[in-house]
A and B are shown apart, each in its own frame.
Chain A
């Protein structure tokens, strides 16, 4: 590698990272700003954080968000895992179109998914006398979470040695025992990853929640949206700082797990080659 291009590319990279992180850091810095301005610094304060914790709207939207995300993640993980196993054991003729349909919520623009679900709920709702609310929100979240779980579990199934199940049955397991003694442990990393991704996507979602939650229920993102449209308040900055730290933590955990897993696989490979 020649020296000079390297310096230029380093500067370029640094600028890009600056571009990506400057707004975030500005947000964080101004969350401690003593005045309401988001661009004039007037001193350090933790007021906005304390106000945040006493803002009932924020707190309730936070509980809603966590509630939906946790439930949706769990349901999606279970359903997605079963679905992935089911798809994996299908013939290609059935599997390909089903996987294509499965990918629709992933590939579609958020707004289309949100709007289509909204229409569904509204038309069904008028028949079933059911309104938009936590239930529809939950259904929507589960719907867009399951594909991510499947996309996470399916590759692990593909990597799994098919002979393992045969070996288990050969040694006396029923198909059910083979299932939870052999298949599940093998794909567990995929399941856990899928669950974490589903959870993160739910926490982060705005557009789909916006169209399916109705007027009585609000997620954190929706609350933030309302805030950004109305008054300027550094409470938003405080929220984003906290969210940033939370996501950072989550990503670190996911990545550390991935690193550990890769090192384990590397060790297995050198042992096997002996």
Chain B
């Protein structure tokens, strides 16, 4: 059983009357790749900065190895951060940037000798594949290279925990995918706990041991990538991770759920009889069949070729579904659909019910920007986060 390294207990963060974090409880283990996932403004970066010590929670406690560290400043914590915009020191070259932490700290009780510093820095350069770059000017490096220097600079101090604040955001798609694999490899090789912040759910799913989904300052769900994907706990999580069709349903009894008036067999249990629920069906779990074989019948309104599959929008009594299939269906054709029991996932209703899951033509964002009456929201600017 892995040991618990970091614990956040009932942490709340209030900025200027804005509740950014609301009673967060989180446990982070040794040798774990944990990702804080959510849309902008959900509080994930604030959580990271609380762990790093750059921000003190308005209330609540932070524990490291059982010791309360709320009042411990960042330079005294055995935690290192990879900043979103790298924050490399422009007046130092690559070598000196990486050696920065080694030169000022007393590691293991004594000052490191020149040779030790040299060997550790070179070792790090090797790990991040930047051998030969020691004397380069950091401002002349590409985004991917700067990022690797930032990682090396943090890791060379052998922290117990590495905090990464959306480090791959500025990179090209291809490079991002390569770096994701790199980061995972480094984490497994060093055994250091990585706490990773991102809004990209694909990234979170592919790299993490544990995913923490957040919205509005509240943790929505904690679980492995498979759990989060297959068994989202509410409509928000279901919609945020992957594509989902979310429909209203009634849980008749264990194993049976009714949608659009039809009963479907499913694998979920533990709900009250006839409880109104949200039902999630992933687009790839829907089979298109002949009308006579289908459990439901609908009309195709839109077909888009996506390469790997077609995105087919089907209208069932006014509710638009997204189906991903390799079969082509012409627009306006009537089709039947079939869903296996394990393709249906039932969730309790929540404040998010009704907000997601309908694939009508426009997204919520589009409706918002088309509304003349709507006032633009004051987003909490990043500067405020740094002022605290």
Residues of A within 8 A of B (CB): 270-271, 273-274
Distance in angstroms from B40 CB to nearest chain A CB is: 9
How would you classify the secondary structure of chain B's contact residues: helix, strand, loop or mixed? loop
User: B376 in the interface, Cβ–Cβ < 8 Å?
Assistant: yes
Distance in angstroms from B41 CB to nearest chain A CB is: 11
Which residues of B, 349-388, contact A by the 8 Å Cβ criterion? 368-369, 376-379, 381
User: Which bucket holds chain B's interface residue count?
Assistant: under 10
Distance in angstroms from B326 CB to nearest chain A CB is: 38
On chain B, the residues within 8 Å of A271 by CB distance are 376
Residue contact A270 to B378, C-beta cutoff 8 Å:
yes
Q: Closest A residue to B368 by CB, please name it.
A: A274
Q: Closest A residue to B374 by CB, please name it.
A: A274
Given contact pairs A270-B378, A270-B379, A270-B381, enumerate 7 new A-B contacts (beta carbons under 8 Å).
Answer: A270-B376, A271-B376, A273-B379, A274-B368, A274-B369, A274-B376, A274-B377
On chain A, the residues within 8 Å of B377 by CB distance are 274
Distance in angstroms from B71 CB to nearest chain A CB is: 13
A273–B381 Cα distance when bound, in Å, is 11
B376, B378, B379 pick with most chain A CB within 10 angstroms: B376
On chain A, the residues within 8 Å of B379 by CB distance are 270, 273
A253–B378 Cα distance when bound, in Å, is 28
Q: Closest A residue to B369 by CB, please name it.
A: A274
A109–B376 Cα distance when bound, in Å, is 51
Q: Closest B residue to A269 by CB, please name it.
A: B381
A243–B88 Cα distance when bound, in Å, is 48
Distance in angstroms from A273 CB to nearest chain B CB is: 7
Distance in angstroms from A255 CB to nearest chain B CB is: 21
A271–B379 Cα distance when bound, in Å, is 10
A274–B376 Cα distance when bound, in Å, is 7
Distance in angstroms from B15 CB to nearest chain A CB is: 16
Distance in angstroms from B362 CB to nearest chain A CB is: 16
A274–B374 Cα distance when bound, in Å, is 12
Distance in angstroms from B54 CB to nearest chain A CB is: 14
A271–B376 Cα distance when bound, in Å, is 6
Q: Closest B residue to A271 by CB, please name it.
A: B376
10 contacts between A and B (CB under 8 A): A270-B376, A270-B378, A270-B379, A270-B381, A271-B376, A273-B379, A274-B368, A274-B369, A274-B376, A274-B377
On chain B, the residues within 8 Å of A273 by CB distance are 379
A274–B40 Cα distance when bound, in Å, is 12
Distance in angstroms from A44 CB to nearest chain B CB is: 48
A270–B377 Cα distance when bound, in Å, is 8
Distance in angstroms from B325 CB to nearest chain A CB is: 35
Distance in angstroms from A267 CB to nearest chain B CB is: 9
List the 8 closest pairs (A to B, CB-CB), nearest first. Answer: A274-B376, A271-B376, A270-B379, A270-B378, A270-B376, A273-B379, A274-B369, A274-B377
Distance in angstroms from A80 CB to nearest chain B CB is: 33
On chain A, the residues within 8 Å of B376 by CB distance are 270-271, 274
On chain A, the residues within 8 Å of B369 by CB distance are 274
Q: Closest A residue to B365 by CB, please name it.
A: A274
Distance in angstroms from A66 CB to nearest chain B CB is: 43
Q: Closest A residue to B381 by CB, please name it.
A: A270
Distance in angstroms from A39 CB to nearest chain B CB is: 47
Distance in angstroms from A133 CB to nearest chain B CB is: 53
A108–B343 Cα distance when bound, in Å, is 79
A271–B375 Cα distance when bound, in Å, is 10
